[in-house]
Amino acid sequence: VPQDRIPGQEARTKVAAIQMNPAFGEPKVNLARTCDLIDEAAARGAEIIVLPELCVSGYVFNTRREVAALSEPIPQGPSVTAWSDLAQRRGIYIVGGVCEREGENYYNSAALVGPRGHIGTYRKTHLFFEEKMFFEPGNLGFPVFRLPMGNIGVLICYDLRFPEPARILTLKGVDLICSPTNWVAMFNTRLWDDSGFCMANYIVMGSAAVNQVFFACADRVGVERGVQFLGASTITGPSGWPIAGPGSKDQEEIILAEINLSDARRAKAKNEFNHTLADRRIDLYDHMLGYSE
């Protein structure tokens, strides 16, 4: 047992956010690359590994036909099959972005696999920009998956720009929000600050702090069809402060942190007067659901 483990807090889990640079329209190359990076992260002790959004297909689609050609069913498709094999062999959990096909519908999804194969799927609920041309909005709600080390949920990129999804996951008991992302430069006035953080990092820090949950955000890097991605993958703790990262702006890398997922529960009891879930004023929150008084 390493010296830095606090007594009573031995139930630690290594979490990895994999920052990578997929090549558009090269699913076999990209899938092989995800497996190499998963292997490397697992060799470094990672038990929960997060891959970026649409990391096998690429992101910047021009036509629905391209989406069709690069999509795959979950769990039968090649990505989830390969990740399940790895997860079983390594005894790990993987959350990875998948361009999902179900019948004639396409979803910007993330699959969760573990030692016993496919566990569940999240379909991005808030679609950004031209995603609305190609994908259906997610119709599976905000599921929370109960793993041996804690409860995890998934949000994808633009989902993070709404306060509701992370809050709903929190109310459902999530400890760690795994976020496959493709943070884009476009529409941002300022890409990174002097600390190497982009605005999405600060949104995540704020959300981690108000919900007292962990986040593992795996972003992609590179430029695809003129669209630049921001990197800056992070792992953030329930106090809101980052634990690992930000990753670089343009290089592939693995962001790794050892955490105790139960800290997300302890953090909610602030002091003898305040538990942040009990302090909610649900008597005043009915306005949350719409515009009307």
Is 68 near a second copy (CB under 8 A)? no
Q: How far is the CB of 41 from a second copy (least distance, A)?
A: 27
Q: Is 225 a residue that touches a second copy (CB under 8 A)?
A: no
Residue among 187, 151, 143 at smallest CA distance from 168? 143
Q: Contact letters (x/-) for a second copy, 238-257, by CB under 8 A? A: -xxx----------------
* Interaction between residue 43 and a second copy (CB under 8 A): no
Residue 61 · residue 72 · CB < 8 Å: no
Tell me which stretch binds a second copy (CB under 8 A): 3-11, 70-78, 148-156, 194-202.
194-202
- Which residues within the stretch 84-143 sit at the binding site for a second copy (CB under 8 A)? 125-130, 132, 137, 141-142
With CB under 8 A as the contact rule, the residue among 172, 225, 266, 275 that binds a second copy is 172
Cβ-based neighbour number of residue 190 at 10 Å: 7
Q: Which is nearer to a second copy, 139 or 251 (CB)?
A: 139
Check 47, 72, 99, 124 and give the catalytic one.
124
| In the complex, minimum distance from the CB of residue 173 to a second copy, in angstroms, rounded to a whole number | 9
> d(Cα 217, Cα 166) in Å, to the nearest integer?
13
Query: Would you state the structure tokens that stand for residue 41, as one six-digit string?
Result: 């992260």
Residue 96's nearest CA partner among 136, 37, 175 is 37
Active site residue 14: no
- Under the binding rule (CB under 8 A), the answer on residue 45 touching a second copy is no
Does 205 sit near a second copy (CB under 8 A)?
yes
- Selecting among 14, 47, 53, 72, the annotated active-site residue is 53
Query: Which listed residue (55, 157, 178, 217) is catalytic?
Result: 157
Question: Considering only residues 3, 8, 189, 226, which one is a binding residue for a second copy as defined by CB under 8 A?
Answer: 189
Where on the chain is the footprint of a second copy (CB under 8 A)? 125-130, 132, 137, 141-142, 158, 161-164, 166-168, 171-172, 186-190, 193-195, 199, 202-207, 209-211, 239-241, 270-271, 273-274, 276, 279-282, 284-291
* Active site members: 53, 124, 157
